[in-house]
Every structure is written in structure tokens, then in C-alpha cells.
Amino acid sequence: MVYEVKGGWILPNLERFLTKLEQVSVPTIPNRNEAQMNQTLEVIKTRYSCRTFDGAPIPEQTLQEIAHAGLCAPSAKNRQPWRIITLSDKALIDELDANAMARMAISSPKDHQRLMDRGGTLFYNASAIMFIAKDPAGIAHYIDLDCGIVASHLTLAAASLGVDSVICGFARVLFDGEAGEAMKQRLGFPPDFDFSVSVLLGFSDRPANPPHEPDPNKAITVS
């Protein structure tokens, strides 16, 4: 209850107070955090795995921004057991693609045939590849999980900047055996670091595919 003191009497004046309150114009302040959150959710919901790139180059600044987003990923005990190695030399990417396909034809015929059915390439004519190298000195049970989180950051950052992507684990075939050690050196892997996963980047050569349909039954709430 709101009261007004007047002439020694305390008079109830709630109704008049509320009337004045309704007349007060309170400016609306945009909730920037909410706007940013909605934008982030929209990127998450619409991002899809692209397997048909047009080969057009990605601006260097854009690649740097994507890589920086990967470096912002969380990790177990903040060890950050990774290096992000960006390759944008298209001729070298195509060379590695042919190398990987030849190896897969021998080591994994079924996977090789699957890729042949998709167009005959491993890297889908991507303009750039970000190899995520893992530090064996990290926490053993979490190293690949940490690197996977980096990959997720890279793909979402790319989508927010208009760059298409797909996570590529098959690139591991490049790093098997003695030839793999030479490949790590060629690509600038730090000593003792191993391949974890890679992200292919570029621009789709056709209209965007719809993202996969989420299954709400796979999100379980315990209350």
C-alpha cells in the first residue's frame, strides 16, 4: 500500500500512484546478450556438412578468425593439447587428396569405394584444410575429445562467417606409417604431435543442404 501524508492524515493513494506510473515512459534497452545468443543458436541450427566445394579461395583474414575461434575452445584442465595447422595451398591440397585416395584404396577399400561414389575425392575440392594436431602430453583420456571440441568451434565459426565446412577424420590416412611421419614434418606438425581430426573449408558449389533433423528423444531430462 502507498500512502500520502497530507494535513496530518495518511491517505491511501495507491490508485493515483499506479496511474502516474503507467504514464511514465521507460526506454527499452536492447538485450544484447539475448540477441547474440539467438544468432549463435541460429548458426548452430542451420550449419550443415558440405561435401561439394567450388574451390574458390577463402580470404586470409577469414581463415585467421576461424582458427582463433578454435583456439578459444575449452579443454580438460585447460591444457589446450592442440595445434591448428591451416593449409590453403590448393595445389598441395589436391596432391594430398590424390595421395590419400591411393592409400585408402589399399588400406580401406570399402571407405575408398564410398568416397568414389561421392565423386572420387577425399577433400571434396575444399579451398583450405585445418589439421588439428594433438599433443600426447595432454590428459590421455581427453586429448581427442578436446580436439573434437576445437573442430566444432571451427565449423561454427566458419558458418557464422559464410564459409561451409565438413569435419574429416579420414585425413588420418595421410599420417600412417613412415610416410605419415614425413607428412607431419612437411605440414609443420610440432615434434611428437599426432593427427587428431581435420576440418575442410570452402564455399559450396550448390544451394545449401538442410541440416540433419535433430531427434528430440535423444535429449533426456532428469528432474
Q: How far is CA 90 from CA 37, 49, 61, 149, 165, in A?
A: 35, 20, 17, 26, 16
pLDDT at 84: 98
Between helix 60-71 and helix 143-160 the angle, nearest 10°, is 140
Q: Where are the domains of the chain?
A: 49-202
pLDDT at 81: 97
pTM above threshold 0.85 = no
Percent of all residues in the chain with a pLDDT value above 90, rounded to a whole number: 77
pLDDT tens-place string over residues 124-149: 999 999 999 999 988 989 999 999 99
For the domain made up of 49-202, give the CATH fold: NADH Oxidase (3.40.109)
Position 118 confidence tier, pLDDT thresholds 50, 70, 90 = confident
Strand partners, 164: 202
pLDDT at 9 over 50: no
